[in-house]
Chain A
Amino acid sequence: MAGNTNGTTDYDVIIIGGGPGGYVAAIRAGQLGLKAACVEADKLGGVCLNIGCIPTKALLSSALLVNELKGAGGHGISFDGFTADLGPAQKRSRKVASRLSNGVSFLLKKNKVDHIEGYGRLLGGGAVEVEKDGGKRRITAGDIVIATGSRPRSLPFLEIDEERIWSSTGALFQEKAPETLVVVGAGAVGMEFADIYNAYGTKVTVIEALDRVLPLEDSDSSRTVAQAFKRRKMDIFTSARVESTVARDDGVTISFTDKRGKAHTLDVDYVLSAVGRIPNTEDIGLEAAGVKLTERGNFIAIDEATRTSVPGVWAVGDCAGNQLLAHKGMHEGVVAVEHIAGIGHHTVDYGNVPNCTYCHPEVASVGLTEEQAREKGLDIEVGKFPWAGNGRALAAGDSTGFIKVIRDKRYSEVVGAHIVGPHATELIAEFVMARHLESTVEEIDRAMHPHPTLSEAVAEGALGALGRALHV
């Protein structure tokens, strides 16, 4: 028998949940020679692979292609009777998702992790109940990792029925783009679906309660994306409040007030509710095990090594709060299992989690916004390099946006980086690495960047924050 269970428990570690946090924890456990089980009631890969990040990115790739083809005249490409049909793109997105989900199954097998189908609940004292088709069994382990994820939040005046009022899930399974759609919530999910449906011909209206789209991003990023969306004929209402939604068989009537207090009523085909997510922390036996929740939001309370209030019980991913992002959950999964295996030498740096939104233009960031840095009283210098100064971006015909680098003058640390524009979500990784290695901004400049590439703009942003960008 693998691992070190000594025969007293069934497993070294049981992971409840097979999403990004859970399956990565399971793979790492297998790599470390722990005897591990991953309990999942639904499909492996969780929301991210099946009804989240991955299929959305498949649809966004389709949407980008549609938009590029619409403007392909300059490349000498022309069409007679150009059409864009959401149906095949939607089917393609399902294929991508199911291929990856099967991939996770393979990875668990390869790492000798038992995949147990069923609904897992803590029983306390190292025991987990697995319920499947009405039957229940009990398994035990020295350590338990909770990775039960989150689900879309439904508001009383915006109740999700997935018929006329969708969550992101409903929005993923449409085979036909409607004529009209209202997106409530201009966070990453809302903005990505707005982008997709707009590309396929839907008249999209975005309603956001806060004063700008992508309210967690730097205000420069928000402004640039809002302008790009407006150019694509989307309507955006910020500081707006949804008063009511009435779903009928053939549509939805939504009433809201705009920032000036003026009342609006729209009759549209569908409404997408993208107003955030709530953790799956009910009915998983937390009370039985004595695991404490956070005061706000009902997340499982953990420390930087993902320990909960109960020794031997760990929590990772969306159910454990902080940023609800797959990469944060995966990272926590590794940290949890390495601590369980006794080789835990690092913790999760919640200040260095990158944010990515894959609409077009793409938006990515890490660290503080300029406003936050100023509020903290840091002595900063800001460099902002527009894509219009980058040869590769111009050659590709994609020069909306900028790279902004915020430098703490004291030790020249990168306190924040914000990218809007081509491949922003890829380029942000250099800043994450720089921050992780505690690089100074000078180091980013001195590392030679290939020409002509988008990555040159990273170095130019860094130079800007030193007051000496070359190409502006």
Chain B
Amino acid sequence: MATRVHMEALSPTMEEGQVVKWLKGEGDAVAQGDILAEIETDKATMELVARGEGVLRRVLVSEGAAAPVGDVIAIIAAEGEDIAAMEAGLGGGDAAGAAGAGAGEADGNGASDAGPGDGRTEAPQPAATPGTAAPAGAPETATSARSAEAPAPATTTAPAMEATVPAAPTRVKASPVAKRLARDAGLDIATVRGSGPGGRVIKRDVEAAARAAAEAAAATPAPPVTPWPAPPDTEFEDIALTQMRKTVARRLTESLGPVPHFFLTVDADMTRALAARKRVNELLAARGAKASINDLVIKAAAVALTHHPECNAWWQGDSIRRFHRVHVGVAVAVPDGLITPVVRDAHAKGLGRISTEVRELAGRAREKKLQPHEYTGSTFSISNLGMFGIEEFTAVINPPEAGIIAVGAVEERPVAVAGEVVVQPRMRVTMSCDHRVIDGAQGARFLATLKSFLEEPSAILM
């Protein structure tokens, strides 16, 4: 007697679950109570146990894919038992969902790649239908042949788009980099149309698919998320939301409004920063440049963000975009409001250059002469009210960015050092974090790095 395996409600509030890993593959014998798969719920990763016995005949939801509670995600039946009727009764799953991931095939890509849902799992391609059969191309040479794998039929290179009944598992023609990228972007590689030789899915295809998916998601009215223009040439990775992340986002939004802020403050000893700035300005004098403490904060924060990329990110509604380069928005007061011109690649620029750019951008901002590309695309922002004598304040996040720091004045204040009260130039930095993206400990770690850079600017060079 065939048994349907359902996505079960493994937590009280679970609405859908994501298959982290199939522990049984198609063709494996299954006894009642065996652990079939690891399922990520909104709370934790749970085990899904078998409620029938026989052979795991069909896996309908691939690793990394999610299914609502109640959906059939696999079929257990006796060997040789006809399950066509049962499959037909499921209404023909889509190819994406039907991507069978044999547990034994999740071979991982090495030590640095031990994550679940390895991109190299094999997805069955649909049997070629007249409409989808592409010109017969030479079968792609396997880059790492595995003996257990059935030879791939050489005749179909059509992307798996219109599958009804999965045929024998074949390998998806895709480059290793494309597979890894797809996994990180939460995309099923079998659904990506390949533009390489013989329909091979290569890096640019996955990048395009990820972009299209993000745009499509942004375009759907459900959560009103503005499609933010990506800054040109910015490198980033989109991180799919885990169930945990989705729940955190929903709950916090309900509690606090559209952007659930929280705040962290550090108080830094600026003795060395002031000395460093003095020395730098002596060196810059020849070039006619002069760096401010704010320029130093920009540089320090940008470099610190390269150490803490989780804080250098955008909230995109359905994913988090984590950037590998740091574009700092610098809040500038203008007569009728404020604007944040962007210092691009601030982590890679010298203080002289940052200073010159900030001055130039701020000047034109006050004249309202900034071009749109000069005030969009920042990945993190800095607001400084130190010049007004403000000791500390909180700044409002500039969406879709996940963080902003509010920088106060450098003032001499008494502090206790090793039991003695001494007077030091101190500066307070308060970070506002979007809790959907940044958790408390992450923000704290970033601020600790920033503080260490401000207290010992030489460390920026390390």
Which A residues form the contact surface with B (CB < 8 A)? 345, 375, 377-379, 409-413, 437-440, 442-443, 445-447, 466, 468
Query: A378 vs B345: C-alpha distance in the bound complex, in angstroms?
Result: 12
Partner of B324 from A377, A439, A466 at Cβ < 8 Å: A377
Complex contact A440–B109 (CB within 8 A): yes
CB distance from A463 to the nearest CB of B (A): 10
Measured CB to CB, the nearest residue on chain B to A435 is B177
Interface size on B, residues (CB 8 A): 26
Q: Mark B152-192, 1 if CB is under 8 A from A, else 0.
A: 00000000000000000000000111101100100000000
14 A-B residue pairs with CB within 8 Å: A345-B197, A377-B235, A377-B325, A377-B326, A377-B345, A377-B348, A411-B181, A412-B109, A437-B175, A438-B203, A440-B109, A446-B110, A446-B144, A447-B143
Query: A256 vs B144: C-alpha distance in the bound complex, in angstroms?
Result: 56
The 3 closest A-B pairs by CB, nearest first: A438-B175, A438-B177, A442-B110
Partner of B177 from A409, A413, A466 at Cβ < 8 Å: A413
- Asked if A412 meets B306 with Cβ closer than 8 Å, knowing A438-B202, A440-B176, A440-B177, the reply is no
Which residues of B lie under 8 Å from residue A378 when comparing CB positions? 324
Complex contact A412–B144 (CB within 8 A): no
Q: How many A-B residue pairs have CB under 8 A?
A: 62
Given contacts A440-B113, A443-B176, 5 further A-B contacts (CB under 8 A): A377-B348, A378-B324, A411-B181, A412-B180, A439-B143
Complex contact A411–B324 (CB within 8 A): no
Which residues of A lie under 8 Å from residue B348 when comparing CB positions? 375, 377
Query: A369 vs B411: C-alpha distance in the bound complex, in angstroms?
Result: 45
B111 interfacial contact with A, CB 8 Å: yes
Q: Mark B136-162, 1 if CB is under 8 A from A, else 0.
A: 000000011000000000000000000
Which residues of A lie under 8 Å from residue B111 when comparing CB positions? 466, 468
Measured CB to CB, the nearest residue on chain B to A377 is B325
Complex contact B324–A379 (CB within 8 A): yes
Query: A466 vs B184: C-alpha distance in the bound complex, in angstroms?
Result: 19
Interface secondary structure of A, over-half rule = loop
Which residues of B lie under 8 Å from residue A409 when comparing CB positions? 112
B455 interfacial contact with A, CB 8 Å: no
Complex contact A377–B347 (CB within 8 A): yes
Partner of B143 from A411, A443, A466 at Cβ < 8 Å: A443
Which residues of A lie under 8 Å from residue B110 when comparing CB positions? 412, 442, 445-446, 466
Which residues of B lie under 8 Å from residue A438 when comparing CB positions? 175-178, 202-203
Query: A436 vs B329: C-alpha distance in the bound complex, in angstroms?
Result: 37
Which residues of A lie under 8 Å from residue B345 when comparing CB positions? 377
* Most A Cβ at <10 Å: residue of B109, B325, B348: B109
B237 interfacial contact with A, CB 8 Å: yes
Partner of A442 from B113, B181, B184 at Cβ < 8 Å: B113
Which residues of B lie under 8 Å from residue A442 when comparing CB positions? 109-110, 112-113, 176
Query: A413 vs B112: C-alpha distance in the bound complex, in angstroms?
Result: 13
Which residues of A lie under 8 Å from residue B202 when comparing CB positions? 438
Complex contact B112–A466 (CB within 8 A): yes
Which residues of A lie under 8 Å from residue B176 when comparing CB positions? 437-440, 442-443
- Asked if A443 meets B144 with Cβ closer than 8 Å, knowing A378-B324, A410-B324, A438-B175, the reply is yes
- Asked if A439 meets B175 with Cβ closer than 8 Å, knowing A375-B348, A377-B306, A377-B347, the reply is yes
Measured CB to CB, the nearest residue on chain B to A407 is B112
Query: A379 vs B306: C-alpha distance in the bound complex, in angstroms?
Result: 9
Query: A56 vs B178: C-alpha distance in the bound complex, in angstroms?
Result: 41
Interface residues of B in 279-315 (CB under 8 A from A): 306
* Most A Cβ at <10 Å: residue of B144, B175, B176, B347: B176
Which residues of A lie under 8 Å from residue B109 when comparing CB positions? 412, 440, 442
Which residues of B lie under 8 Å from residue A439 when comparing CB positions? 143, 175-177
Complex contact A447–B175 (CB within 8 A): no
Which residues of A lie under 8 Å from residue B347 when comparing CB positions? 377
